[in-house]
Amino acid sequence: MYNPFMSKCKSFEPSVNLNSKILILGSMPGVKSLEKQQYYAHPQNRFWKLMGVICNTQNLGEADYQFKLKILLEHNIALWDTIKCCSRKGSLDSNILNEIPNDIKALLKKYPNIQKVCLNGNKSYSSFKKYFPDLLEKYNCLKLPSTSPANARYSLEKLIDEWSVIKE
């Protein structure tokens, strides 16, 4: 079980299959997600509401976690994190220290249909750029605004406008 007072964080396994064409990368799951062992588990994170709109699936935010992952995979969307492990107090990306990246190159090699990489927020993008600069050239990489509740300047409507590019 995750202890919120410990500062060692480890990301989850990717949700991906051979049909995946889009890879969404977060930075590192927050405290609530680590506790529940689910991507974007904080009730105020807008990720699942946003994906519900993008995948044309009503009430995805309230759905069972396995159903949420299934819907993404049915829409050829894979989900993972840029960072494999790090030290962090709390959930803020700005508190991440000693990060070690996930092996994104190996994932992309194993799943060759992935053509677009969407980076959920500044930390995901900066880590991706730091560890995988060559992939920025090789893939269609999109830096997108974070769905985190800490990114309060973006309303859900504004996030939908920005993130709708993943369908193109």
Q: Where are the domains of the chain?
A: 8-167
The domain at 8-167 falls in which architecture?
3-Layer(aba) Sandwich (3.40)
Q: Which residue, among 71, 69, 45, has the nearest Cα to 58 in the 3D structure? A: 71
Crossing angle for the helix pair 47-54 and 156-163, nearest 10 degrees?
50
Query: Among the options 3, 17, 19, 45, which is catalytic?
Result: 45
**Below-50 pLDDT ranges, the chain:** 1-4, 6
Answer yes or no: 45 catalytic.
yes
Q: What is the pLDDT of residues 96-128, one digit of tens each?
A: 888 999 999 999 999 999 999 999 999 999 999
This prediction's pTM:
0.92
Q: What percent of the chain has pLDDT over 70?
A: 96
